[in-house]
A and B are shown apart, each in its own frame.
Chain A
Amino acid sequence: MATVTFDHIYKRYGQDVIAVNDLNLEVKDGEFLVLVGPSGCGKTTALRCVAGLEDISDGRLLIGDRVVNNVAPKDRDIAMVFQSYALYPHMTVYDNLAFGLKLRKMNKAEIDKRVKDGAGILGLEKFLDRKPKALSGGQRQRVALGRAIVREPSVFLMDEPLSNLDAKLRVQTRAEIARLHQRLGTTTIYVTHDQVEAMTMGDRICVMKDGLLQQVGSPQELYDHPVNIFVAGFIGSPSMNFATTKSEGKDLIFGGAKLELTGAQARAAESRPDGAQVLIGFRPEHIEIANGQDGSAVRFPAKVDVVEYLGNEELIHAQAEGNEVVALLPSDRKVGVGDNVDLAVPMEKLHIFDPESEKTLVG
């Protein structure tokens, strides 16, 4: 068990490329922290810095209260699950699990016990004599997990461990890893580009972009209160709608419609000079068909382009004041293509951003 602390961590390649830029983050003891972001955002590099597979250019990395910048991977008391699983192809499953323990000169009986226990947890008992080649993708993935857990390290590092699995297996394994974490309670840093994985698995999520940390928080914090346009657009599926408006007192002018704001949203609009551009954001699942909502919602007209039927819900693509808007509505709303509808967004679900700094104005 241990904390992991990134203290002003930089990772540079050559002169120009900064893969990780001044990362400050503390992973709490026993926490499941997800590093998420688009490819090239530096999340994998950050993870490899913890593993000791990349040298840290600047800053201090602590595992527990020990600075490990110059500690070899083998002495960091970590275990890593790789995207490709990286199983030793010339060894049986048993030997794959036992390899790390043998290197640590553990006695045979203890090794045997740990391997059998680990195999039991992951349902691998039947495959212990097989080579990785004779296993399915899902089984290999479990061996990779098993190799990490038998070591009983103080930190697990996982680098997109689910990305080579098919959709169904991915959902299963996602739950399996979550269960495993609940059972073992080991500090885990998990890298993924998939925001659904991040939302479902993380105790906290750290969103990164271009080497910079954007926001850290619980899944709900990120969903409800994204600090900037990037996080707002990245978290949530389908992603948030954005539209440009102009501020006018405590209200916003959206094309021909006037959005009358109250509360925090009104204060956000007031903080901008009249006529200044303001970006609004609202999630597809928060849009409703206007039905006599009072001042607790903003309303604007839209014309329906496309209706995608999903069963109990429909994805409505509509044009609103020159902006493409996607709305997720219950399918009993009976909205048809070409219909003119009034859409409403509850006031507290309306996000307001400064288009220049890209930061939220709703504090």
Chain B
Amino acid sequence: MDFGTLGFAVLAIVGVPAVTVLYILATEWLVRGLPERRRATIRPWLWLLPAFAFLGVYLIYPMIQTAILSVMDRRSESFVGFDNYLGLFGNDSFWLTIANTAMWLVLFTGIVIVIGLIVAVLTDRVRYETGVKALIFIPMAISFVAAGVIWGFMYEFDPDIGTLNAGLATVGAEPQSWLTEWPRNTVMLIIVGIWMWVGFAMVILSAGLKGISTELLEAARIDGATELQVFFRIILPLLAPTIAVVGTTIVITALKTFDIVFVMTSGNFDTEVIASLFYRARFINGDVGSASAVAVILLLAIIPVMLINIRRFQQQEAMR
């Protein structure tokens, strides 16, 4: 590391807090000139200004720019209207991408929540709870790329390498090509995602579960509920807000899926999802217009989920 890099690092570490403090002092100096009443109304806006500025530069502006690029041609030189969108909609492989993403949305989200819930409820009743939970949570700490590589070995065709085919071989079955046949390959990729994310769902749901008092469950048992009725009529409704949090987080993750697909199949064999389609359009085909159109579609798909999440968050705040 030469002096330039070091100097820059020091500047970043010292400079950022210094600028923050200077900004606060500067705003205080500014509002001091104002009458008392105006001060209270203006100060919060001044403090929010930097955040808004960063959001504007790094979020709002690129969003608008992407929308604009999506109605330009592949080199962003001339306006082409909705041609990029129409081009996508007219292409069968785009609809396959949508179908795959839908599979991710439904299977990945659904199974992660169901398994997460089952594990959370079961571990809640055993003595070695922490150990089991740690074990299930570990995949969360592995990078998607590493997980892709690991599961690549699991799905390997050669029974001497691939765990799944080795298993098939022991019962005398023919080895299978797990990652080339649609829709099986997408399901196989989703399994990798599930393996990684069940830990997350379990931890959050388990925390929610701990928040339900045992007296409540005992009251239900005395009232005449079987264990299944206790689960479906008491635990599940009380856990609904937590399930919604986990659900929206995982839906967004499903929509953004890229790494697993990219590492394991590169979107070949009909495993393309929206994010990998974007990557292919932008960096392999060099078609900025189409890529931007895909990005806009992804954005539009995520917005409703975000809105639900924000509304729910506000409701929860209102309840306090």
Whole-angstrom distance from the CB of A258 to the nearest CB of chain B? 57
Cβ–Cβ contact A84 & B222, under 8 A: no
Whole-angstrom distance from the CB of A221 to the nearest CB of chain B? 32
With beta carbons under 8 angstroms apart, the residue of B215, B224, B234, B237 that contacts A74 is B224
Cβ–Cβ contact A74 & B218, under 8 A: no
Size of interface on A: residues with Cβ below 8 Å to B: 22
Cβ–Cβ contact B215 & A84, under 8 A: yes
Complex Cα distance A151/B223, Å? Answer: 8
Secondary structure at chain A's binding surface: helix, strand, loop or mixed? loop
Q: Is B213 an interface residue (CB 8 A)?
A: yes
Q: Is B219 an interface residue (CB 8 A)?
A: yes
With beta carbons under 8 angstroms apart, the residue of A82, A99, A147 that contacts B218 is A82
Give B230-246 as 1s and 0s: 1 = Cβ < 8 Å from A's Cβ atoms. 00011001100000000
Residues of B near A90 (CB, < 8 A) are 237-238
Complex Cα distance A7/B172, Å? Answer: 61
Q: Is B220 an interface residue (CB 8 A)?
A: yes
- Known contacts A90-B237, A90-B238; A147 and B215 CB within 8 A of each other: no
Cβ–Cβ contact A74 & B222, under 8 A: yes
Cβ–Cβ contact A51 & B237, under 8 A: no
Cβ–Cβ contact B238 & A74, under 8 A: no
Whole-angstrom distance from the CB of B213 to the nearest CB of chain A? 6
Whole-angstrom distance from the CB of A82 to the nearest CB of chain B? 5
Whole-angstrom distance from the CB of A114 to the nearest CB of chain B? 13
Q: Is A104 an interface residue (CB 8 A)?
A: yes
Residues of B near A99 (CB, < 8 A) are 220, 223, 233
Whole-angstrom distance from the CB of B13 to the nearest CB of chain A? 48
Residues of B near A53 (CB, < 8 A) are 218, 221-222
Whole-angstrom distance from the CB of B215 to the nearest CB of chain A? 4
Q: Is B285 an interface residue (CB 8 A)?
A: no
Q: Is B226 an interface residue (CB 8 A)?
A: yes
Residues of A near B105 (CB, < 8 A) are none
Cβ–Cβ contact B216 & A86, under 8 A: yes
Residue in chain B with minimal CB distance to A74: B224
With beta carbons under 8 angstroms apart, the residue of B223, B229, B234 that contacts A147 is B223
Q: Is A287 an interface residue (CB 8 A)?
A: no
Q: Is A88 an interface residue (CB 8 A)?
A: yes
With beta carbons under 8 angstroms apart, the residue of A74, A82, A86 that contacts B225 is A74
Q: Is A89 an interface residue (CB 8 A)?
A: yes
Complex Cα distance A78/B225, Å? Answer: 13
Complex Cα distance A147/B224, Å? Answer: 12
The winner among B218, B221, B223 for most chain A CB atoms within 10 A is: B223
Cβ–Cβ contact A73 & B221, under 8 A: yes
Cβ–Cβ contact A103 & B213, under 8 A: no
Whole-angstrom distance from the CB of B135 to the nearest CB of chain A? 27
The winner among A100, A147, A151 for most chain B CB atoms within 10 A is: A100
Residues of B near A89 (CB, < 8 A) are 216, 238
Complex Cα distance A235/B143, Å? Answer: 66
With beta carbons under 8 angstroms apart, the residue of A80, A103, A151 that contacts B229 is A103
Q: Is A79 an interface residue (CB 8 A)?
A: yes
CB proximity to A under 8 Å, residues B197-223: 213, 215-216, 218-223
Cβ–Cβ contact A88 & B218, under 8 A: no
The winner among B219, B224, B237, B238 for most chain A CB atoms within 10 A is: B219
Complex Cα distance A52/B218, Å? Answer: 10
| B-binding residues in A (CB < 8 A) | 51-53, 72-74, 78-80, 82-84, 86, 88-90, 99-100, 103-104, 147, 151
Q: Ordered nearest first, which 5 A-B pairs have the shortest CB separation?
A: A100-B223, A86-B219, A103-B224, A86-B215, A74-B224
Q: What would 12 A/B residue contacts be, using CB atoms closer than 8 Å?
A: A51-B222, A53-B218, A74-B222, A79-B223, A80-B218, A82-B215, A82-B218, A84-B215, A89-B216, A89-B238, A90-B237, A99-B220
